[in-house]
Amino acid sequence: MSHSCLPTRLPCGSRVLDLSRPHVMGILNVTPDSFSDGGSYTQRDKALRHAAAMVEAGATLIDVGGESTRPGARSVSPNEELERVAPVVAAIARELDVVISIDTSTPAVIRECGRLGAGLINDVRALRRDGALDAAADSAMAVCLMHMLGEPGNMQDNPSYGNVTAEVEQFLCERMEACRLAGISAERIVLDPGFGFAKNLDHNLVLFKHMDELHRLGRPLLVGVSRKTMIGQVLGRDVSQRLYGSLALAALAVAKGARIIRVHDVAETVDVVRMIAAVETAD
Ligand code: PT1
């Protein structure tokens, strides 16, 4: 299926995302640093101001994450995760005109954030945790199903594929079927190849090149490559020097039909995406 015949309307709780054009999702991490003030007013206010700046810069989704899922990250308890993200989700829902995405695999977090006004469940585990399918089915939120094998703690230990694109497609197809059986309609689903999740550099590059094949599944694609190791490996750049590499991949992902691009550098990516959209909608 070519991406030109993909659905253009994604229901996200009480909001609808118009996918006839590509969107930029801004990353909002609410994982406390070493000077931990998790759950404090300062942390909440800082997160809200960062979210507001990203919306001002053109982000139409904000992805709120309270558990790091980068390679090697450790997991946090559901209560700790909820204490971090719930106040931030509530504040964004109150103050900003934006779809709130919640980067979580935890059923209690899915349920509470849905109640607080979140519009999309962004689950790197594709609703495989116990109770996650039911929590999603009981909500009206959209769902992003991402490909990963194993857990963030061990996923980069020698990942191996015969045909990475075919295996990612098969996995996503199976998770869509699990959603269907749980009562989550296909109209709510977005798919993500999961760059940097259980994939080495070659896997990431081949999968990126062929990601348009995933459109056979009939659902919009979300892509997250911002500042990732694959860019550092190709360019020999430290994480602070990966903006141009990230923008190149954002442009290429949109050219291949991806509809949501998850990034740290919102203003820069919005220019890239708007320029491509202007050309693609010309006639
Ligand atoms: C992603 C994603 C995500 N990435 C979605 N959610 C992260 N839907 C968190 C590295 O190689 O791509 N899609 N949530 C961040 N995870 C990583 C993974 C960060 C790998 C960095 C790397 O550097």
Angle at 203 between CA 247 and CA 101, to 5 degrees: 55
Percent of the chain with pLDDT over 90: 85
Residues recognised as catalytic:
228, 262
- Say if ligand 1 is within 6 A of residue 223 CB: no
The Cα–Cα gap between 129 and 49 comes to 32
- Say if ligand 1 is within 6 A of residue 222 CB: yes
Residue 253: the pLDDT is 98
Residue 68: the pLDDT is 87
What is the rounded average pLDDT of the residues 54-66? Answer: 97
The Cα–Cα gap between 153 and 25 comes to 25
Please tell me the distance between residue 222's alpha carbon and the centre of ligand 1 in angstroms.
11
Phi, psi for residue 112 in degrees, rounded to 5: -70, -40
Ligand 1 mutation target, pool 141, 197, 221, most atoms within 8 A of CB: 197
Under the banding of pLDDT at 50, 70 and 90, the label for residue 72 is confident
Please tell me the distance between residue 63's alpha carbon and the centre of ligand 1 in angstroms.
12
> Helix, strand or coil for residue 23?
strand
Residue 37: the pLDDT is 58
The predicted-structure confidence for 176-235, as pLDDT tens digits, reads as follows: 999 999 999 999 999 999 999 999 999 999 999 999 999 999 999 999 999 999 999 999
* Residue 219 CB-half CA count within 13 A: 26
- Say if ligand 1 is within 6 A of residue 246 CB: no
Domain count, the chain: 1
The predicted-structure confidence for 261-278, as pLDDT tens digits, reads as follows: 999 999 999 999 999 999
Please tell me the distance between residue 142's alpha carbon and the centre of ligand 1 in angstroms.
19
Let me know: does 97 contact 135? Beta carbons within 8 Å.
no
- Say if ligand 1 is within 6 A of residue 144 CB: yes
Q: At what angle do helices 266-280 and 243-255 cross, to 10 degrees?
A: 30
Fill in the amino acid letter for 216: R
What's the CATH code of the domain at 205?
3.20.20.20
Under the banding of pLDDT at 50, 70 and 90, the label for residue 35 is low
34 pLDDT more than 60? no
Q: Looking at ligand 1, which residue's alpha carbon is closest to its atom 20?
A: 196
Please tell me the distance between residue 68's alpha carbon and the centre of ligand 1 in angstroms.
9
Domain that holds residue 183: 3-280
The predicted-structure confidence for 79-112, as pLDDT tens digits, reads as follows: 999 999 999 999 999 999 999 999 999 999 999 9
Percent of the chain with pLDDT over 70: 96
The predicted-structure confidence for 224-270, as pLDDT tens digits, reads as follows: 999 999 999 999 999 999 999 999 999 999 999 999 999 999 999 99
Under the banding of pLDDT at 50, 70 and 90, the label for residue 151 is confident
Which is the closest atom of ligand 1 to the Cα of 228?
23
Ligand 1 mutation target, pool 23, 64, 69, most atoms within 8 A of CB: 69
Residue 134: the pLDDT is 98
Name the more confident of 123 and 6. Answer: 123
Is residue 220 classed exposed, middle or buried when 0-12, 13-18 and 19+ CB atoms within 10 A define those classes? Answer: buried
Residue 7: the pLDDT is 82
Let me know: does 257 contact 212? Beta carbons within 8 Å.
yes
Let me know: does 142 contact 189? Beta carbons within 8 Å.
yes
